[in-house]
Amino acid sequence: MGGASKWGAFFMNIMVNGNKHDHTGSGSLDTLLMELGAKPDAVAIMVNDQVIPRADRAGITLKDGDCVEVLSFMGGG
């Protein structure tokens, strides 16, 4: 479960691409992407199986236990 970290900031346990991830940011998708080192323009995002349109990203606040999928393009025919 999430809570207050020793740094005083909130952290939460979420799943990112099937792996446990301790998120210490504000819970916004932008801070999560920054944490992961992902370029915001180069990824698509699902939260709890819902596709998040780019325009709606800013309005999302993650909560403990959320499952996030971050997807990007790779080579394909």
**Binding positions for other proteins, rule: CB under 8 A:** 16-19, 36-39, 41-46, 51-54, 69-77
Distance CA 68, CA 15 (A): 6
Find, among 2, 50, 44, the residue nearest to 27 by Cα: 2
Comparison of 9 and 71: residue with beta carbon closer to other proteins: 71
Q: Check: CB of residue 46 under 8 Å from CB of residue 71.
A: yes
Minimum gap (Å) between residue 31 Cβ and other proteins: 15
Minimum gap (Å) between residue 8 Cβ and other proteins: 26
Minimum gap (Å) between residue 17 Cβ and other proteins: 5
The residue to which tokens 């990824």 are assigned = 43
